[in-house]
Amino acid sequence: MTINDVREKLQQQISQLISSLDQVVQMYGMPIIQDKNGNPLWIDVREMTLRYQIPIKKVQKFFEGLKEGKILATKCNKCGTIYFPPQDDCPKCKISGLEWVEMPDEGELVAYTIINVKPPSFSHYQDYIVGIAKMKNGINVTAWVNSKEVKVGMKVKLRITKREPENYLTYELIPA
Amino acid sequence: MRNVAIIGTGHTKFGVRTDVNLQELAWEAIKQALEEANLDQKDIQYFVVGNVGSWSAEELPAVVVGEYSDLTPKGTMRVEAACATGSAALRDAYLAIKSGEADIALAVGVEQMHQSPNPQVVELIGRAGDYFWEFENFGLTFPGYYALHASAYMAKYGAKEEDLGKIAIKSHHYGARNPYAQFQKEITMDEYLKSKPVAYPLKLLDSSPITDGAAAVVLASEEVAKKITDSPVWIVSQGVASGTANLSKRTDFTHIEAAYLAAQQAYSRAGINFDEAWRFFDVAEVHDCFTIAEIMAYEDLGFAKRGEGYLLAREEQTYIGGKIPVNVDGGLKAKGHPIGATGISMAVAITRQLLYRAPKGTQVNVKHGMGISHNVGGTGHYAYVTIFSTRRPSS
């Protein structure tokens, strides 16, 4: 399935919903339906689609790193704190412009779950495993675990992958 | 600082409440609380509305609730602390009185999650962690966050699926006796074990439901409370703490640090020894949005040692008559979890327990006159621990 197939399928579902709402208005004169308890509900006719724009300038280097095949964290030279997910401000030392360091690729799984009931925006994926791994530098990473077998304590590797069908770079954990 | 008492409580039926809109639902609880306190809206000097929203249509819920309930033009605000929103609303009203800013204040928590279809609610609530690094990229759901804790806890301490099941069975046992509860039906271990997986290792019967509901309390200063009622329930102390949004920033996934810190604060102000905390209370309401959360709560509140919370469940020590009765109103699991209302619902439940007004089959034996609520927002993003007593606090 390509991302366009996913989008088309979603648009079809939305169109179906809207046309059935139009039918309700035609039949009843107003967008009112009965729910399974027999209670009348007014179905909102003002649809809102949200897509946020999240500024990433301060951590742009992380995304450049992914393109170059590196998973980067930031490090405060003053107190030594490593930040992952990366951030460019060390609130402890109140300084910015932290150093960029590469994350180690070896770690151990400390917690995981298999998501069976998925949010609609993830419904085009098979059930996926999300894990938290403690990496060699002591920093935790949350990511999908690409593995058939999974258990707490298993050794994992952190690597860059392409998220299909959206086709963008991200990172995942795989068995070591 | 002044003593603060609860002098009126209100609670709606929890569940699918498509028979009323958000403000009508809030009014049901407000009306009951005003009647119990024998007060009118003109007596309320300040009111706080706990509502998380985003699934319901009104963008400024405090204002519409105030308008519908005839509380306008009294000062108000909407507070949000995820699943601990109700406790945050209680806190704001409590502090307003404690500080002397108001003599009588009302806190109402209301949530109507069914204004959105269930899949949309799953989507919205999944975004309740660190949006970009947890949801956008990795699609964590809310059960998923607690499931991470469950897998870590079970691996470290050897708790079994059946131990989680014990929590669900207890909640449904008491929910079946609570006329306000969403699920008034007992469940068996077999039904539990066969229930649908949601986020491994958690199943549908480990999870609190999507709920509509409201709860309200009227609070008053000591001077005023004494004139109005001869059965005030005092707020002895409240502890509050926060945790990281991003779970990966935590070092431990087998307990909720913010809840532990909030308990320490509340206990220290009330002169309670953490290791023997359970001896002080007749009843506890703990945050069991998922069964694993209740087990961690036992430990974070000092009812059980670290790694032994599940044994308390296994040995059924949290039923009425056990070491400490917990969630004997059905808990979030069976009573329902209308996010903004939950914290106030806990305060209402404890107040009614201490005054021997709990529904038949759920009333505890009140020996100490003290109860405790533990309300966690998110997975320890926020935490509030509140201690209630029928005895007037000394300071």
Q: Where are the domains of chain B?
A: 4-117+210-228
* pLDDT grade for B52, boundaries at 50, 70 and 90: very high
Rounded to a whole number, what is the distance in angstroms from the first to the last CA of chain A? 29
Cβ <8 Å between A142 and B248: yes
pLDDT at B208 over 80: yes
| Averaged pLDDT for residues B135-149 | 97
Contact B260, B278 (CB under 8 A): no
Question: Burial code of B33-56, b = ≥16 C-beta within 10 A, e = fewer?
Answer: bbebbebeeebbbbbbbbbbbbbb
CATH number 3.40.47.10 is the correct assignment for the domain at B4-117+210-228:
yes
Do the Cβ atoms of A119 and B110 come closer than 8 Å?
no
pLDDT tens, position by position, A9-22: 889 988 998 999 99
d(CA B388, CA B280) in angstroms, rounded, equals 11
A13 touches chain B (CB under 8 A): no
Cβ neighbours of B19 in A, within 8 Å: 37, 39
Contact A110 B253 (CB under 8 A): yes
Over residues A54-91, the pLDDT tens digits come to 999 999 999 999 999 999 999 999 999 999 999 999 99
Q: Which tops the pLDDT comparison, A2 or B104?
A: B104
Share of chain B above pLDDT 70, in %: 100
Nearest by CB: B133 against A37, A142, A152 = A142
Average pLDDT over residues B165-194: 98
Whether the per-residue pLDDT at A170 is higher than 60: the answer is: yes
Is residue B17 scored above 70 in pLDDT? yes
Instruction: Spell out the residues 6+ positions from residue A126 whose beta carbon is closer than 8 angstroms to its own.
Output: none
B202 touches chain A (CB under 8 A): yes
Q: Which of B19, B144, B202 sits opposite A130 (nearest CB)?
A: B144
Class (C level, CATH) for A105-175: mainly beta
Task: Tell me: pLDDT of B1 over 90.
Answer: no
Q: What is the pLDDT of residue A48?
A: 86
State pLDDT tens for residues B181-197.
999 999 999 999 999 99
Q: Exposed, middle or buried, A42 (CB in 10 Å: 0-12/13-18/19+)?
A: exposed
Distance separating alpha carbons of residues B367 and B377, to the nearest angstrom = 30
Distance (Å, whole) CA B49 – CA B93: 10
Q: Which residues from A are below 8 Å from B135, CB to CB?
A: 119
Give residue-wise pLDDT tens across range A36-49: 999 999 999 998 88
**d(Cα A121, Cα B125) in Å, to the nearest integer?**
13
With a CB cutoff of 8 Å and minimum separation 6, the contacts of B187 are B168, B169, B172, B205
ipTM, 2 dp: 0.94
Dihedral-angle region of residue B158 (phi above 0 means left; psi in -120 to 50 means alpha; beta otherwise): left
Whether residue B106 contacts residue B219, with contact meaning beta carbons closer than 8 Å, is answered with yes
Residue-wise pLDDT for A85-118, tens only, equals 999 999 999 999 999 999 999 999 999 999 999 9
Q: What was the pLDDT predicted at A144?
A: 98
Point out the residues of B that are catalytic.
83, 337
Instruction: Tell me if chain B has a CB within 8 Å of the CB of A125.
Output: yes
- What value does the mean pLDDT take over residues B92-120? 97
CB distance from A84 to chain B under 8 Å?
Answer: yes
Q: Where in chain A do CATH 2.40.50 domains reside? A: 105-175
Distance between CA atoms of A77 and B168, rounded to whole angstroms? 49
Residue A172, φ and ψ in degrees, nearest 5: -145, 170
Q: Which residues contact B232 (CB under 8 A, 6 or more apart)?
A: B5, B6, B7, B220, B225, B226, B390, B392
CB B72 within 8 A of CB B66: yes
The mean pLDDT value of chain A amounts to 96
Q: Where are the beta strands (DSSP E) in A79-154?
A: 82-83, 89-90, 95-96, 99-102, 106-115, 128-135, 140-145
Please list the alpha-helical segments (H only) found in chain B: 22-37, 61-68, 85-98, 118-126, 142-157, 161-175, 189-194, 222-228, 257-270, 291-300, 309-314, 331-335, 342-354
Provide the edge-to-edge strand list for the sheet that holds A82-83: A82-83, A72-75, A99-102
Q: Is the pLDDT of residue B395 over 80?
A: no
| Residue in B16, B135, B148 nearest the CB of A132 | B148
The verdict on a CB contact (< 8 Å) between A37 and B247 is: no
Helix, coil or strand: residue A100: strand
By the 8 A CB rule, do B172 and B192 touch?
no
For chain B, what is the mean pLDDT? 97
